[in-house]
Structure 1
Amino acid sequence: MQSQFAQNQPIEVSSALLKATSIGAEKVEEASELAQNATSPMCFQTHFESCMELYADAKTVANYLDSHQGWFGECAEPMKVEPLGDNAYALTIGRFGAFGYEVEPKIGLELLPAEAGVYRIQTVPIPNYVPPGYDVDYKSSMHLVEVTTDGVPMTRVEWQLEVAVYLRFPKFIYKLQKSLLQKTGDRILSQIVRQVSRRLTFKTQEDFHTALGIPFPPKKSKKG
Structure 2
Amino acid sequence: MKNLSVIGNSKYRQTANYTKNAFIMVANNWECQSLERTESVLLVGSSVAVDETLSKKSHSGPSKFYSHHQDCMEMYAPIEKVAEYLNSHSSWFAHCAEPMTVQPLGDNGYGLVIGRFGAFGYEVEPKIGLELLDPQEGKYRIRTIPIQNYQAPGYHVDYNACMELVESLPEMTRVEWELDLMVELHFPSFIKRLPNSLIQSTGDRLLNQIVRQVSCRLTRKVQEDFHQSLGIPFLVNSKKKRH
TM-score w.r.t. the length of structure 2 is 0.72
**Unmatched 5+ stretches in structure 2:** 1-54, 237-243
CA distance in 1, matches of 2:60, 2:92: 41
2:141 aligned to which of 120, 128, 131: 120
In the TM superposition, what are the counterparts of 1:35-184 in structure 2 within 5 Å?
Answer: 38-148=59-169, 153-184=171-202
- Cα 1:166–1:35 change in 2 (3 A) is farther
- Cα 1:199–1:127 change in 2 (3 A) is same
**4+ residue runs over 4 A deviation:** 34-37
**Unmatched 5+ stretches in structure 1:** 1-33, 219-224
- Mapped contact 1:39–1:169 kept (Cα < 8 A): no
- Mapped contact 2:62–2:185 kept (Cα < 8 A): yes
TM-score w.r.t. the length of structure 1 is 0.78
Q: Specify the alignment match of 1:192 in structure 2.
A: 210
Cα displacement string for residues 44-64 of structure 1 (whole angstroms, at most 9, x for unaligned residues): 001000000010000000000
Equivalent pairs: percent with the same residue?
61
Shift of 1:90: 0.2
CA distance in 2, matches of 1:159, 1:38: 36
Shift of 1:39: 4.5
1:209 aligned to which of 201, 206, 227: 227
Shift of 1:117: 1.2
- Cα 1:74–1:92 change in 2 (3 A) is same
- Mapped contact 1:120–1:140 kept (Cα < 8 A): yes
Shift of 1:132: 1.8
Q: How many residue pairs get matched?
A: 182
More helix by share: 1
Cα displacement string for residues 165-224 of structure 1 (whole angstroms, at most 9, x for unaligned residues): 000001100110000000000000000000000100000000001111011049xxxxxx
Cα displacement string for residues 2-41 of structure 1 (whole angstroms, at most 9, x for unaligned residues): xxxxxxxxxxxxxxxxxxxxxxxxxxxxxxxx99973411
Which structure exhibits the higher relative contact order, with contacts defined as CA atoms closer than 8 Å and separated by 6 or more residues?
2
Structure exhibiting the larger radius of gyration computed from Cα positions: 1
- Cα 1:155–1:95 change in 2 (3 A) is same
